[in-house]
Amino acid sequence: MDTSTMLITAGVIFVAIFGSYIFFYQKEKRELKKESQASNSKANGNLQLQAYERLVILAERISLRSLVARIPSNGISAREFQAVLTDHIKHEYDYNLSQQLYVSPQAWQAVTNLKEQNIFILHQLTQSLPAEATGFDLSKAILELLDADPKTSLHNIVLEALRFEARKLM
């Protein structure tokens, strides 16, 4: 064998070995990328599910019935009690603002609507009471309204929407 043939043979062998290395390296790289994407997808699903859990807790905490049960109304006027309840609703909502990154726009809008509706109901009920009404009077009016028509509040509808969205992730 002459030198040029040996060089050509060595070149072919080198190209074959290098080509095989590149092929297997690229294949391994693609497999690692697929595994990473699957892992990220699972992690994102967990974050989304946790966000829905947080929003269910938020919906429960800003429900009018829950607020009246948790926050004392003694010794303050209806207007002061309205302000306290409204502040609690806004605080709870603001605390969970980041959850909107992980949930559907419809789910976040449902929670926002619940917040706005509850504040509106508080305002309307307070306006309907006499000026000398107490926080207890407002509490009583809230519970009477909810007992008279459970569909008055979006609370149950929002909870069902959040459950529906969360089940799609499971």
94 part of a folded domain: yes
Establish if 77 belongs to a structural domain.
yes
State the Cα–Cα distance between residues 118 and 168, nearest whole angstrom. 28
Neighbours of 47 (CB within 10 A): 14
Residue 28: predicted pLDDT: 67
pLDDT in tens, 3-47: 656 556 655 665 666 666 666 666 666 666 665 555 545 656 789
Confirm whether 62 is domain-assigned: yes
Q: How many domains does the chain have?
A: 1
Provide the pLDDT for residue 89.
Answer: 98
Query: Is 150 part of any domain?
Result: yes
Q: Which domain holds residue 70?
A: 52-169
33, two tokens: 């990328």
In the predicted model, residues of the chain with pLDDT beneath 50 are: 40
Q: Which residues of 118-148 are buried (b: 16+ CB within 10 A; e: fewer)?
A: bbebbeebbeebeeebbbebbbbbbeebbee
Asked whether residue 13 is assigned to any structural domain, the reply reads no
User: Shortest CA distance to 138 belongs to which of 78, 88, 84, 79?
Assistant: 78
In a domain, 68, yes or no: yes
CA distance 60 to 30: 45
Answer yes or no: is 47 within a domain: no
